[in-house]
């Protein structure tokens, strides 16, 4: 009986350490990797807006030339 309790205590301790490691890894992913992904997405959005403004400018130029 006592040996079973010791075995379960050891397993619980191992599980607690694994949970702690997983928690640290999740916080690293959340704090570091997601920030880099967000930065890359923001730079892609800036490029897309720039391209959109350029296309709009070209379209307006074509329309003004067609009306003259």
Read off the pLDDT of residues 20-64 as tens digits, 9 standing for 90 and up. 999 999 998 888 888 888 999 999 999 999 999 999 999 999 999
Region for 59 from its dihedrals, namely left if φ exceeds 0, alpha if ψ lies in -120 to 50, beta otherwise: alpha
Residue 6, pLDDT > 90, answer: no
Q: Counting runs of H as helices and runs of E as strands, what totals does the chain give?
A: 2, 0
Q: Which helix (H) or strand (E) holds 51?
A: helix 34-67
Alpha carbons 18 and 16: distance in angstroms, whole number: 5
> What is the structure's pLDDT at 64?
94
Alpha carbons 33 and 20: distance in angstroms, whole number: 19
């Amino acid at each position: 009986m006592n040996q079973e309790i010791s075995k379960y205590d050891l397993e619980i301790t191992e599980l607690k350490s694994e949970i702690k490691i997983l928690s640290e890894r999740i916080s690293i992913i959340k704090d570091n990797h997601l920030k880099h992904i967000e930065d890359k997405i923001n730079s892609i959005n800036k490029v897309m807006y720039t391209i959109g403004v350029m296309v709009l400018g070209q379209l307006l130029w074509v329309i003004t030339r067609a009306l003259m």
